[in-house]
Chain A
């Protein structure tokens, strides 16, 4: 159980293109989803927290207009990188939690990530 599907797994596109990444919880309802960015050989950097039916909460330094997040249902959140440029090239990975529950008791389940390359 607790499967998170992320699509696409690999994207190569031209500079100026907008790219949408989908994150789906397949066998549970995710009230909260998280979007991370990871540079090579570095740790995961939280970009934003997405709650179903409300606006995403962005971390300091993350451009809201560049990285649009939508969490329209309990099983789907999307990250759109608008007008992508080479510096946006990175590994983007989402995670989902079923419910807050006990403090820390619910692990985040991760998608397989999306490798984004902007030419």
Chain B
């Protein structure tokens, strides 16, 4: 069984500052993928970034980057130069070898960017 834990229900950050959203995971799979999604108040799920379990380098995608520490089973999302439009719910998720690669989601972190 896979488990995703997001321990920060809510986070505040000032505009233009960087923020780190925490995510730890647990799995018995040797190969797995880790994803971050953004969900604005309008409801759509926006794919942000992906990290494969065998990727040696941390993934980056524009202002998004991952601090992937495999031994600690953590994959924290770093958002640099925060913008007001970054205010949203952020979900960490993983998929593994079983179950058709279905996703297991964490409980999410509500991020609010302030002026």
Contact = CB atoms under 8 A, between A and B. Distances in A.
Interface residues of B, number: 30
A95 B106 CA distance: 17
A53 to B, nearest CB: 14
Nearest to A108: B103
Given A43-B106, A103-B31, A109 B47 contact: yes
B45 interface: yes
Interface residues of A, number: 27
Contacts of B31: 103-104
Contacts, number: 77
Interface string B91-109: 1001111011111011110
B35 A112 contact: no
A42 B43 CA distance: 12
A92 B34 CA distance: 23
B33 A34 contact: no
Given A44-B45, A102-B52, 8 more contacts: A34-B103, A43-B108, A49-B100, A49-B102, A93-B45, A100-B100, A103-B95, A104-B101
Interface of A: 32, 34, 42-44, 46, 49, 51, 57, 91, 93, 95, 97, 100, 102-113, 115
